[in-house]
């Protein structure tokens, strides 16, 4: 656990308060291919700083389109395309454990004061003031504390963003880091008038019918390797094309295979290009998959991690097998 040192909180709050006071340009950046925690934290902090009167731009590497499940997040007026981002005076990175995760914005961190808001075990130590707690269930939990320390009350829009961050990273309050404090925070957020059923239907439970058929194909190809306590499958670009689906429908599909009782580790290889895979890994508790992911160039948490793999799917799985055997 460890938590965040009081001196780091004080420094972060001071930096951001002064930035607002002196009308400095504040740039918020979350990780590439942002999930609900990254975008929710980004837009929550963005709206809170705006409420204080701050000059805020929010962005992430890559095209600015939000996947449909996250398209309902408030605060999107703060989003600025990568190319249109101005020179900032202060930077806050959110939900990114390493500089690679913020792409070209990593270069801006040299010589610009910054705050790193993150909860990954694989945090590399990059950036300025670390508001980093691997014991936090989501970056949104740290974002909520930052917003409270800045003295901004949770309105419904800020609460919506934080709630989406929390449900995304706790699997809707199912994972081990779901502490009493997380539930207490969720209660506070819901009290602003959020409708949890509506939000989770939108975020988790609404996909095109083509996605349902695609899941069938991907799940029916799953391979169990009892000797390695490993279950894995692939989702290829051809699968997406055959069913006319965008890549975001593959987020969460790992949940469909990680329940296999005979395995401890589940892997989903999502093809992003020829011989290039975005790999999701989950553990049922017996394996630290962040160790495997870090060894293969990625990062994450003990029970949920990922990396980008190159080569044929068999080769990528071979590398995972080898790391599991270490
Ligand atoms: P996912 O499987 O995409 O839900 O990601 C699970 C966890 O692994 C998240 O905490 C991610 O931050 C981390 N992760 C996934 N892909 C990568 C990557 N290419 N590099 C670093 N961390 C990753
Ligand atoms: Mn994330
Ligand atoms: Mn996160």
Helix (H, G, I), strand (E, B) or coil at 305: strand
Q: How far is the CA of 248 from the centre of ligand 2 (A)?
A: 14
Distance CA 85, CA 55 (A): 13
Q: How far is the CA of 226 from the centre of ligand 3 (A)?
A: 30
What's the pLDDT at 2?
A: 61
Both tokens assigned to 210 = 């083509």
Q: Which of 170, 304, 316 to mutate to test the pocket of ligand 1 (most atoms within 8 A of CB)?
A: 304
Residues with CB under 5 A from ligand 3 (ion): 37, 95, 139, 169
- pLDDT above 50 (res 95): yes
Q: How far is the CA of 179 from the centre of ligand 2 (A)?
A: 19
Distance CA 294, CA 122 (A): 7
Q: Which ligand is nearest to the CA of 30?
A: 2
Q: How far is the CA of 87 from the centre of ligand 1 (A)?
A: 28
**How large is the average pLDDT for residues 240-268?**
97
Q: Which ligand is nearest to the CA of 300?
A: 1
Mean pLDDT of the chain: 97
Q: How far is the CA of 98 from the centre of ligand 1 (A)?
A: 11
**How large is the average pLDDT for residues 25-40?**
98
Report which of 283, 292, 299 is spatially closest to residue 317, judged by C-alpha positions: 292
- pLDDT above 60 (res 34): yes
Of all residues in the chain, the percent with pLDDT exceeding 90 is: 99
pTM of the model: 0.97
Q: What is the pLDDT of residues 167-217, one digit of tens each?
A: 999 999 999 999 999 999 999 999 999 999 999 999 999 999 999 999 999
Helix (H, G, I), strand (E, B) or coil at 29: strand
Q: Which atom of ligand 1 is nearest to the CA of 252?
A: 4
- What are the residue ranges spanned by the domains of the chain? 6-203, 209-324
- pLDDT above 90 (res 247): yes
Q: Which of 305, 307, 320 to mutate to test the pocket of ligand 1 (most atoms within 8 A of CB)?
A: 305
Query: 323 burial class (0-12, 13-18, 19+ CB within 10 angstroms)?
Result: middle
Distance CA 48, CA 7 (A): 21
Whole-angstrom distance between the N-terminal and C-terminal Cα of the chain? 26
**How large is the average pLDDT for residues 102-126?**
97
Total residue length of the chain:
326
**How large is the average pLDDT for residues 55-68?**
96
Q: What is the pLDDT of residues 307-318, one digit of tens each?
A: 999 999 999 999
Ligand 1 residue neighbourhood (C-beta within 6 Å) = 120, 280, 298-301, 304-308
- pLDDT above 80 (res 305): yes
Q: How far is the CA of 119 from the centre of ligand 3 (A)?
A: 6
- pLDDT above 50 (res 162): yes
1 — pLDDT class (breaks 50, 70, 90): very low
**How large is the average pLDDT for residues 284-309?**
97
Report which of 281, 289, 280, 299 is spatially closest to residue 323, judged by C-alpha positions: 289
The residues, any chain, with a CB within 8 Å of residue 145's CB and separated by 6 or more, are 9
DSSP bridge pairs for 172: none
**How large is the average pLDDT for residues 43-69?**
97
The CATH number of 6-203, from 3.40.50.1820, 3.90.1640.10, 1.10.760.10, 3.90.550.10, is 3.90.1640.10
**How large is the average pLDDT for residues 303-309?**
97
326 — pLDDT class (breaks 50, 70, 90): confident
- If you take atom 13 of ligand 1, which residue's CA is the nearest one? 300
CATH 3.10.310.30, domain 209-324, yes or no: yes
Q: Which ligand is nearest to the CA of 34?
A: 2
Count of beta carbons in the 10 Å neighbourhood of residue 105? 22
What's the pLDDT at 193?
A: 98
**How large is the average pLDDT for residues 1-30?**
95
- If you take atom 10 of ligand 1, which residue's CA is the nearest one? 300
């Amino acid at each position: 656990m460890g938590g965040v040192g009081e001196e780091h909180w004080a420094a972060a709050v001071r930096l951001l308060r002064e930035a607002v006071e002196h009308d400095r340009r504040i740039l918020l950046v979350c990780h590439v291919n942002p999930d609900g925690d990254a975008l929710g934290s980004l837009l929550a902090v963005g709206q809170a700083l705006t409420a204080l009167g701050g000059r805020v731009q929010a962005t992430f590497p890559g095209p600015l389109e939000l996947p449909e499940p996250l398209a309902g997040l408030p605060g999107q007026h703060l989003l600025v395309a990568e190319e249109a981002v101005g020179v900032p005076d202060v930077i806050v990175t959110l939900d990114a454990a390493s500089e690679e995760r913020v792409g070209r914005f990593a270069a801006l961190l040299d010589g610009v004061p910054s705050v790193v808001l993150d909860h990954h075990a694989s945090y590399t130590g990059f950036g300025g003031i670390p508001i980093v707690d691997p014991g936090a269930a989501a970056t949104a939990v740290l974002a909520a504390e930052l917003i409270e320390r800045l003295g901004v009350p949770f309105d419904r829009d800020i609460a919506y963003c934080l709630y989406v961050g929390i449900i995304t990273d706790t699997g809707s309050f199912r994972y081990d880091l779901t502490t009493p404090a997380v539930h207490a925070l969720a209660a506070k957020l819901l009290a602003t008038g959020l409708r949890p059923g509506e939000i989770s239907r939108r975020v988790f439970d609404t996909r095109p019918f083509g996605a349902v058929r695609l899941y069938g194909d991907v799940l029916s190809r799953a391979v169990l390797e009892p000797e390695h306590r490993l279950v894995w499958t692939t989702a290829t670009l051809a699968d997406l094309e055959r069913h006319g689906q965008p890549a975001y429908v593959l987020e969460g599909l790992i949940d469909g295979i990680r329940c296999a009782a005979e395995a401890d580790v589940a892997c989903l290889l999502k093809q992003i290009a020829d011989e290039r895979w975005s790999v999701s890994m989950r553990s049922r508790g017996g394996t630290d998959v962040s160790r495997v992911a870090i060894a293969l160039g990625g990062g994450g948490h003990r029970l949920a991690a990922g990396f980008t793999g190159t080569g044929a799917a068999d080769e990528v799985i071979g590398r995972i097998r080898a790391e599991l055997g270490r």
